[in-house]
């Protein structure tokens, strides 16, 4: 999917403070009117709140988030309903989101001031793609997609229970009510999915009927005499996408192999979906192998084409910030989300031109000249920098241990999984002596390079993953606090150490299996530190011996996240999403040098795929991390 810069909505406020959209010649609804409309048209029109009673999860899909009144009214109705579902997932697309300031102004006087304030506080940067925002500890999850509905809706993977068709009037915003949008909504529906809209326009009713909805008119509200409600009852139901075959929505338990960042993130995300999760780890404690460094950095990247790599890292970094900030603030995990500087050779004018062309918002990334970057870092830097205000550093081992301690996750250390068997529709995990360790519906291979060994027994031969282990040694000194206020990166990194001093590195040697710490690597790290920050260890610094680990990277530098392919498809095998899958068998590995950035997103993606929850990532990006992609690409190349 080619992304476009997000252009925020132009909102005029009239003398009474009411918001208008001059570009569409239409009004946003007044606060009270908007809530009444939401309750009458969208909630009651979809049989809510009654329909979510007693369910584990209820999914609402909406076209046109606007000022969020439908979301707030739905959230309020859910909160006030003692029979509510365990989790409300609200997925909405918006082409022109308001700025945070406009949203705050427009929601001033909201009938739900506390919920409105939470929404404003969590408002994401105006960057294209899906943003995941959790409220109420994740029991209310908002997936907010910034982009054109016709382009974004086909990239979503979810099954909606209810659909809210909102947005400006069809006469003023025809694209939102077009055949491609209706077709995409039908693909997000299952028999019984309902839809509601205040519009009774012929084109809207015909468009919905053409894709399999049965329509009904109901009494309207406010200025509307009638509204439309609909139920999906298609004459022909296309088979579900083959990739969905892996999902186990009725499963109660899951096993994760490996308790590094990848496995711990997956375990936490599966437990959040209500599963009882067991994690097998060959070491005695979580985060004892590659994820055991004292600290590392997380951040996005800027790329003129906004290709899959940049989009994935952005989605990962934004979710990482949301996930980590409360943990750091509460002192549960050492780390910071107070920003990171990524040095760039410049010139600063070229960086600025790129930022403007790409429409990069300042709450995502800013261009700083050398002086401004140096002032932020607290020392003289050699060049301009990209400043990511929400990025930062964290202690990966503490993070892994924190996730493993999630209620619902059982940790079994000192236990190596030797192989898997399929028995009676479940997975059996065995140790080297052939003893059964566990039987379960869902298995996630999150055991770094050993995942490739376990996966190879179950994937077609053509699917072998092109992986490389890249040795790396990180250095640090502790003791006196260095004058380094923020992490600085760019061909290496330096960050303020959790125990004072500085953590810096790291060396990089592909195919080198030497576990011994090397003086030459430490010298290389010192040179990087000097180049990035001008810093050298002070005489009273306490040297730390360093640590060696292996980054596992796929050939295309993207992680491997998703369900394992079971066979080569007869048709369209060049598309990863067409490959048949094993039931309940997933991988989450090859996080490369970006495990801290990618783990929360990768964990949630696996959990969503395994349980049938809405995916937090666009499907073309899911293709880009799919375990079947290498074989699919090879077939494409062969034509």
Ligand X SMILES: Cc1cc2nc3c(=O)[nH]c(=O)nc-3n(C[C@H](O)[C@H](O)[C@H](O)COP(=O)(O)OP(=O)(O)OC[C@H]3O[C@@H](n4cnc5c(N)ncnc54)[C@H](O)[C@@H]3O)c2cc1C
Alpha-carbon 489 to chain mean position: 23
Residue range at the interface with ligand X (CB under 6 A); choices 7-15, 72-80, 285-293, 436-444: 285-293
Give me 32's structure tokens.
């009270």
Question: Would you say 432 or 570 has its CB closer to ligand X?
Answer: 432
Judge whether 441 and 429 are in contact, CB under 8 Å. Answer: no
Give me 99's structure tokens.
């700025």
Question: Would you say 275 or 503 has its CB closer to ligand X?
Answer: 503
Question: Would you say 76 or 259 has its CB closer to ligand X?
Answer: 259
What is d(CA 526, CA 537) in angstroms, rounded to the nearest whole number?
Answer: 9
Question: Would you say 476 or 596 has its CB closer to ligand X?
Answer: 596
Question: Would you say 73 or 297 has its CB closer to ligand X?
Answer: 297
The CA distances from residue 141 to 277, 424, 489, in Å, are 21, 35, 33
Residue range at the interface with ligand X (CB under 6 A); choices 73-81, 278-286, 460-468, 530-538: 278-286
Helix, strand, or coil here: 560? strand
Question: Would you say 505 or 616 has its CB closer to ligand X?
Answer: 505
The yes or no reply on residue 390 touching ligand X (CB under 6 A) is no
The yes or no reply on residue 364 touching ligand X (CB under 6 A) is no
Residue nearest to ligand X (CB): 260
Residues with Cβ within 8 Å of 168's Cβ and at least 6 positions away in sequence, in order, are 21, 24, 26, 64, 176
Strand partners, 216: 229
Q: What is the nearest approach in angstroms of ligand X to the Cβ of residue 549?
A: 3
Judge whether 459 and 563 are in contact, CB under 8 Å. Answer: no
The yes or no reply on residue 336 touching ligand X (CB under 6 A) is no
Alpha-carbon 627 to chain mean position: 18
Q: Which of 178, 283, 370, 468 binds ligand X (CB under 6 A)?
A: 283
Nearest residue to 257 (alpha-carbon basis) of 559, 513, 586: 586
Question: Would you say 293 or 533 has its CB closer to ligand X?
Answer: 293
The yes or no reply on residue 298 touching ligand X (CB under 6 A) is yes
Helix, strand, or coil here: 41? helix
What is d(CA 327, CA 210) in angstroms, rounded to the nearest whole number?
Answer: 48
Helix, strand, or coil here: 154? helix
Q: Which of 66, 258, 308, 384 binds ligand X (CB under 6 A)?
A: 258
Instruction: Give the pairing of strands 276-280 and 392-394.
Output: unpaired
Question: Would you say 110 or 589 has its CB closer to ligand X?
Answer: 589
Residue range at the interface with ligand X (CB under 6 A); choices 179-187, 279-287, 310-318, 352-360: 279-287
Considering only residues 421-460, where is the footprint of ligand X by CB under 6 A? 446-448, 450
Q: What is the nearest approach in angstroms of ligand X to the Cβ of residue 551?
A: 5
Burial class (CB in 10 A: 0-12, 13-18, 19+), 196: buried
Helix, strand and coil percent figures for the chain, each rounded to 5: 35, 25, 40
Considering only residues 455-514, where is the footprint of ligand X by CB under 6 A? 472-474, 493, 505-506
Residue range at the interface with ligand X (CB under 6 A); choices 129-137, 286-294, 349-357, 573-581: 286-294
Considering only residues 199-228, where is the footprint of ligand X by CB under 6 A? none
Question: Would you say 262 or 275 has its CB closer to ligand X?
Answer: 262
The CA distances from residue 115 to 38, 57, 108, 307, in Å, are 15, 20, 12, 35
Alpha-carbon 366 to chain mean position: 22
Q: What is the nearest approach in angstroms of ligand X to the Cβ of residue 169?
A: 46
Considering only residues 570-589, where is the footprint of ligand X by CB under 6 A? 589
Q: What is the nearest approach in angstroms of ligand X to the Cβ of residue 415?
A: 6
Q: What is the nearest approach in angstroms of ligand X to the Cβ of residue 532?
A: 13
Residue showing tokens 């140790």: 431
What is d(CA 452, CA 587) in angstroms, rounded to the nearest whole number?
Answer: 9
Judge whether 565 and 463 are in contact, CB under 8 Å. Answer: yes
Give the number of residues in contact with ligand X, rule: CB under 6 A: 43
Q: What is the nearest approach in angstroms of ligand X to the Cβ of residue 317?
A: 10
> What does the binding site for ligand X look like in residue numbers (CB under 6 A)?
257-263, 280-283, 288-291, 293, 296-298, 396, 416-417, 446-448, 450, 472-474, 493, 505-506, 549-551, 589, 591-597
């Amino acid at each position: 999917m080619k992304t476009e810069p997000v252009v925020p909505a132009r909102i005029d406020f009239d003398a009474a403070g009411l918001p208008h959209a001059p570009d569409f010649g239409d009004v946003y609804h007044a606060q009270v009117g908007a809530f009444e409309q939401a309750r009458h048209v969208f909630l009651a029109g979809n049989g809510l709140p009654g329909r979510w009673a007693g369910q584990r999860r209820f999914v609402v899909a909406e076209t046109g988030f606007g000022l969020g009144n439908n979301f707030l009214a739905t959230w309020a109705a859910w909160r006030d309903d003692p029979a509510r579902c365990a989790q409300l997932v609200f997925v909405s697309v918006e082409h022109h989101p308001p700025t945070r300031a406009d949203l705050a102004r427009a929601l001033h006087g909201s009938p739900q001031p506390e919920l409105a304030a939470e929404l404003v506080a969590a408002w994401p940067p105006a960057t294209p793609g899906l943003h995941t925002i959790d409220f109420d500890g994740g029991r209310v999850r908002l997936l907010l997609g910034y982009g054109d509905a016709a382009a974004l809706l086909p990239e979503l993977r979810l099954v909606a229970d209810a659909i809210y068709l909102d947005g400006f009037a069809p006469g003023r915003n025809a694209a939102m009510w077009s055949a491609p949008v209706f077709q995409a909504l039908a693909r997000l529906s299952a028999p019984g999915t309902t839809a509601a809209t205040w519009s009774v326009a012929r084109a809207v009713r015909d468009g919905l009927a053409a894709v399999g909805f049965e329509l009904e008119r109901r009494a309207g509200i406010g200025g509307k005499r009638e509204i439309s409600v609909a139920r999906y009852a298609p004459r022909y139901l296309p088979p579900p996408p083959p990739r969905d075959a892996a999902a186990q929505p009725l499963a109660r338990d899951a096993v994760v192999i490996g308790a590094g960042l990848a496995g711990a993130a997956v375990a936490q995300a599966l437990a959040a979906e209500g599963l009882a999760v067991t994690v097998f780890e060959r070491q005695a404690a979580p985060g004892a192998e590659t994820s055991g460094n004292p600290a590392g950095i997380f951040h996005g990247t800027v790329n003129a084409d906004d290709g899959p790599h940049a989009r994935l890292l952005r989605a990962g970094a934004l979710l990482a910030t949301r996930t980590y900030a409360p943990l750091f603030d509460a002192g549960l995990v050492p780390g910071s989300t107070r920003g990171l500087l990524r040095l760039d050779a410049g010139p600063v004018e070229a960086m600025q031109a790129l930022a403007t062309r790409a429409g990069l918002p300042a709450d995502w990334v800013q261009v700083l000249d050398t002086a401004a970057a140096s002032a932020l870092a607290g020392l003289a830097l050699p060049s301009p920098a990209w400043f990511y205000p929400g990025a930062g550093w964290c202690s990966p081992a503490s993070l892994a241990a924190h996730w493993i301690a999630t209620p619902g996750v059982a940790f079994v250390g000192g236990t190596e999984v030797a192989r898997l068997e399929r028995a009676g529709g479940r997975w059996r995990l065995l140790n080297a002596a052939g003893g059964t360790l566990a039987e379960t519906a869902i298995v996630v291979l999150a055991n770094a390079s050993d995942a490739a060994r376990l996966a190879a027994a179950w994937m077609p031969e053509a699917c072998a993953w092109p992986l490389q282990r890249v040795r790396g040694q990180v250095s640090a000194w502790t003791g006196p606090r260095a004058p380094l206020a923020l992490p600085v990166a760019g061909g290496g990194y330096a960050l303020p150490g959790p125990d004072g001093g500085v953590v810096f590195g790291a060396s990089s040697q592909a195919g080198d299996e030497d576990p011994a710490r090397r003086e030459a690597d430490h010298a290389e790290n010192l040179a990087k530190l000097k180049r990035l920050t001008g810093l050298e260890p002070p005489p009273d610094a306490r040297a730390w011996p360093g640590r060696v680990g292996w980054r596992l990277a796929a050939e295309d530098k993207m992680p491997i996240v998703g369900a394992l392919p079971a066979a080569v498809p007869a048709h369209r095998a060049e598309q990863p999403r067409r490959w048949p899958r094993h039931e309940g068998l997933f991988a989450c590995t090859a996080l490369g040098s970006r495990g801290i950035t990618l783990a929360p997103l990768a964990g949630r993606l696996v959990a969503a795929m395994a349980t049938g929850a809405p995916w937090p990532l666009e499907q073309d990006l899911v293709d880009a991390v799919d375990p079947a992609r290498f074989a699919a690409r090879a077939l494409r190349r062969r034509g």
